[in-house]
């Protein structure tokens, strides 16, 4: 697969006509210099915002500073802003006559990851988490890119109100990384206190495309997620006398291996499924066999029947391993509802409607149909709650030459992506493409017929 070079200059002008053009081989160049109301003129402001956000990440449910910055940016663009919706959520409303209501969402929280990119603007932040432990924090999932793109679109659209009609609702969501923020905002009256959208738009960076390119998934796009805890109970004792104990570590270790047979031997090969053990907690000292061992799992699927099969098999295997290990008590198996999410589905009709505008604006060579992923999101909450078609675009984030080199070497699977401490988006073309995706989509849905 070959790709065009990265976006070097993107201009979204709102003069007599809406134009989006790129400087690069095979791409048309807009007539005239960059207008005052163009992305190229706005970009330095967005880059400063991005760097500040990247260097000052905040954990889920603690996005106080980040939310304040988003609120201030929206106010400066002329939005009516409400803060503390569903926690640190921010809602900005811009009314501009009679027309559709379009919601644009960004997420705001970061991850407990120690950044290892070596970049001058790398995060060095250490914060206290919900358990009271101090952890390093990084925007390892690109939410800083999402926010900068979202603010860029807010400013451009606010400056071009003569070109569109309707109501914009900009939603800055907390707690996406623990898949709680969307539900918290909806439960706090998001679609009662504020205009209910006719369309819902979102973006997410990806390492599966070069920076500045855009991916469209039609239909199911992100998997359902179930967070499962399994605690095995043994009988602890001295590490030198294991025969006088029931060792829960051994039981849990066998469970880790046994769980891998669910996807490989119980799920139809044509159905997508993942069972990953993310943490293994047991013991305090090397010569003490503990009483308990706990595994934390993330389970992904696309079909309800596969989801049910995965959860049932996890429970069956856990109970069997406990019995085989001589445990005197069944394991505790808990599905953490607050950390689980449903499938995100991109509305096919909306995807096809927006594809044409994005291809005209960015160039067909920069807009790709791509497949679903097994990562999960709570973005789908909004479309379901509002009864509105929704779509979340994928924005390529990997420096183009690095991406091409990895593809040629057959090592593209090793490129650092979201949640990696090495994830380092090529931020300029990525942010510009994010702004373009938001802005061009809004203009397609809300633009005046005579534009």
154-168 tens-digit pLDDT = 999 999 999 999 999
pLDDT tens-digit readout, 70-114: 999 999 999 999 999 999 999 999 999 999 999 999 999 999 999
Two tokens, residue 314: 């996890």
Flag whether pLDDT at 437 surpasses 50: yes
128-154 core/surface letters (b: 16 or more CB in 10 A; e: else):
eeeeeeeebbbbbbbbbbbbbbbbbbb
Cα-based distances in Å from 163 to 77, 433, 443 = 16, 20, 8
Contacts of 34-38 with C-beta under 8 Å, sequence gap 24+, read: 35/11, 37/13, 37/156, 37/159, 37/160, 38/11, 38/12, 38/13, 38/156
CB atoms within 10 A of CB 44: 9
Q: How many helices (H) and strands (E) does the chain have?
A: 11, 20
Given phi > 0 = left and psi -120 to 50 = alpha, else beta, which region is 278? alpha
- Rounded Cα–Cα distance for residues 420 and 429 (Å): 20
CATH assignment, 10-222+343-446:
3.40.630.10
pLDDT tens-digit readout, 283-335: 999 999 999 999 999 999 999 999 999 999 999 999 999 999 999 999 999 99
Query: Cα 352–353–356 angle (5° rounding)?
Result: 85
Two tokens, residue 181: 């923020």
* Average pLDDT rounded to a whole number, residues 118-133: 95
- DSSP designation for 286: T
pLDDT tens-digit readout, 390-428: 999 999 999 999 999 999 888 777 899 999 999 999 999
Contacts of 425 by beta carbon, 8 Å cutoff, 6+ apart: 142, 145, 205, 211, 397, 398
- Rounded Cα–Cα distance for residues 156 and 36 (Å): 10
- Indicate the CATH number of 224-339 among 3.30.70.360, 1.10.1200.10, 3.40.50.2300, 3.60.10.10: 3.30.70.360
**What secondary structure does DSSP assign to 11-57, as a single string?**
EEEESSSEEEEE-STT----SSSPPTTSHHHHHHHHHHHHHHHHHS-
- Rounded Cα–Cα distance for residues 45 and 66 (Å): 16
CB atoms within 10 A of CB 48: 11
Specify the pLDDT at position 413: 74
Specify the pLDDT at position 166: 98
Specify the pLDDT at position 17: 36
Confidence band for 12, pLDDT divided at 50, 70 and 90: low
For residue 436, report the phi and psi dihedrals to the nearest 5 degrees. Answer: -65, -45
- Rounded Cα–Cα distance for residues 306 and 365 (Å): 36
- Rounded Cα–Cα distance for residues 301 and 374 (Å): 7
Specify the pLDDT at position 21: 37
State how beta strands 134-136 and 80-85 pair: unpaired
Two tokens, residue 313: 């098999």
* Coil vs helix vs strand at 273: strand
SS3 content of the chain, % helix, strand, coil (to 5): 35, 30, 35
* Segment holding 134, helix H or strand E: strand 134-136
10-222+343-446 and 224-339: same fold? no
Contact 27, 21 (CB under 8 A): yes
Contacts of 179 by beta carbon, 8 Å cutoff, 6+ apart: 225, 339, 340, 341, 376, 377, 378
Contact 306, 267 (CB under 8 A): yes
- Rounded Cα–Cα distance for residues 258 and 416 (Å): 29
Report CA torsion sign: 43, 46, 52, 55.
negative
HSE-CB at 448 with a 13 A cutoff on CA atoms is: 16
Specify the pLDDT at position 268: 97
Flag whether pLDDT at 382 surpasses 90: yes
Cα-based distances in Å from 21 to 28, 52, 274, 330 = 6, 28, 40, 63
pLDDT tens-digit readout, 41-64: 999 999 999 999 999 999 999 999
CB atoms within 10 A of CB 403: 23
Give the CA radius of gyration of the chain. Answer: 24
Specify the pLDDT at position 410: 85
Percentage of the chain with pLDDT > 70?
91
Confidence band for 449, pLDDT divided at 50, 70 and 90: low
Q: What is the pTM of this model?
A: 0.89
Domain spans in the chain, listed from the N-terminal domain onward? 10-222+343-446, 224-339
Percentage of the chain with pLDDT > 90?
87
The average confidence (pLDDT) of the chain is: 91
- Rounded Cα–Cα distance for residues 144 and 427 (Å): 10
Specify the pLDDT at position 414: 84
């Amino acid at each position: 697969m070959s790709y065009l070079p990265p976006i070097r200059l993107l201009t979204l002008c709102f003069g007599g006509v809406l134009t989006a053009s790129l400087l690069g081989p095979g791409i048309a160049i807009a007539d005239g210099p960059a207008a005052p109301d163009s992305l190229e003129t706005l970009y330095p402001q967005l880059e400063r915002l991005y760097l500040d956000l990247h260097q000052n990440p905040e954990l889920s449910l603690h996005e106080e500073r980040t939310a304040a910055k988003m609120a201030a940016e929206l106010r400066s663009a002329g939005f009516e802003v409400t803060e503390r919706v569903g926690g640190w959520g921010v809602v900005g409303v811009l009314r501009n006559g009679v027309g559709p209501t379009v919601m644009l969402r960004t997420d705001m929280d970061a991850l407990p990851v120690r950044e290892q990119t070596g970049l001058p603007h790398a995060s060095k932040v250490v914060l206290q988490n919900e358990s009271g432990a101090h952890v390093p924090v990084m925007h390892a999932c690109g939410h800083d890119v999402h926010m900068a793109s979202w603010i860029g679109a807010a400013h451009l659209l606010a400056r071009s109100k003569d070109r569109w009609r309707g109501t914009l609702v900009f939603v800055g969501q907390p707690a996406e990384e623990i898949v709680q923020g969307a539900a918290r905002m909806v439960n706090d009256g998001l679609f009662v206190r504020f205009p209910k959208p006719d369309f819902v738009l979102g973006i997410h960076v990806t390492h599966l495309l070069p920076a500045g390119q855009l991916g469209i998934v039609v239909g199911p796009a992100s998997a359902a997620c179930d967070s499962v805890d399994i605690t095995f109970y043994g009988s602890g004792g001295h590490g030198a006398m294991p025969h006088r104990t029931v060792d829960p570590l051994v039981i849990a270790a066998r469970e880790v291996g046994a769980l891998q047979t669910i996807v490989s031997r119980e799920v139809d090969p044509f159905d997508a499924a993942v069972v990953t053990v993310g943490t293994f907690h047991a013991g305090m000292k090397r010569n003490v066999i503990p009483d308990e061992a706990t595994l934390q799992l993330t389970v992904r699927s696309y079909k309800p029947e596969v989801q049910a099969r995965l959860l049932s098999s996890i429970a069956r295997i856990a109970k069997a391993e406990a019995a085989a290990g001589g445990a005197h008590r069944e394991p505790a198996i808990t599905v953490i509802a607050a950390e689980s999410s449903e499938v995100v589905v991109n509305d096919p009709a909306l995807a096809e409607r927006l594809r044409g505008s994005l291809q005209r604006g960015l160039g067909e060579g920069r807009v790709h149909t791509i497949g679903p992923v097994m990562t999960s999101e709570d973005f789908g909450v909004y479309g379901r709650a509002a009864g509105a078609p929704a779509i979340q675009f994928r924005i390529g984030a990997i420096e183009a030459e690095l991406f091409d080199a990895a593809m040629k070497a057959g090592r593209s699977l090793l490129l650092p992506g979201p949640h990696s401490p090495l994830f380092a988006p090529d931020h300029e073309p990525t942010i510009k493409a994010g702004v373009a995706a938001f802005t061009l989509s809004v203009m397609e849905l809300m633009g005046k017929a005579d534009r």
